[in-house]
Amino acid sequence: MKTALITGANKSIGLETARQLLQLGYYVYLGSRDLQNGQQAVEQLQSEGLSTVEPLQLDVTDSASIAAARQALGQKTQVLDVLINNAGILGGMVQPASSTYISLIKEVFETNVFGVIEVTQAFIDLLRAAPEPRIVNVTSGLGSLTLHNDPSWKYYAVKGAAYQPSKAALNAYTIMLAYELRDTPFKINAVDPGYTATDFNHHSGPGSVSDAAARVVKAAVLGPDGPTSQFFSDDNAPETGISPW
């Protein structure tokens, strides 16, 4: 049975991603900053007949929590097939480049960039032990620098000094990691789940959580001939599914 770890998985897209992987026969470690919330999510999945899941306390902004999660997971399995870096924060809806507090920008980067890097580095040894390891970094279409310079883009006016740069940085890290591991079985990709109706955006998005999670899962279960170092976004590029960086 393949194993997967999902950060920020106690609700919304993370929880639905766990559900869909469980339906595919994976054993899922459901990462949650608050263990009680994670346990409640696990109980919800178990009530649906999805039993191969357990919570893992994991705060991606806390080095001690990451280290403890790595130790706890290492006592359960020596192999991790899939890591989905899903945890992320928005940092508020209005982020003017000239006046957004640096403290807010740092807070967003701590979760969206540095948290991803630290979690990935902590679990990379377990991933290396898998025959076909997969890393999915959940990004945003708003992380595309190319499109942010295109006045014809439908989200051209949606600018922000914290969230958008954090996702651009996450995309850059994805490229660097994929390049480092290019001659290995790893597949490492960034996935934009799309503008989805969640608590994250006060349910303003038109997309469904089910469709968003399916995009993440698609990258998590890529076969050996699948691509690596890609920025998948059906929203930015409905024809090809590959967004410009």
Q: Which residues are catalytic?
A: 140, 167
Q: How far is CA 57 from CA 53, 73, 98, 107, 244, in A?
A: 13, 10, 37, 20, 35
> What distance separates the 2 farthest-apart alpha carbons in the chain?
52
For the chain, the first-to-last Cα distance in angstroms comes to 34
Strand order in the sheet with 82-85: 53-57, 27-32, 3-6, 82-85, 134-138, 187-191, 231-232
Q: Are 65 and 122 in contact (CB under 8 A)?
A: no
SS3 76: coil
Interhelix angle 115-128/163-180, nearest 10 degrees: 20
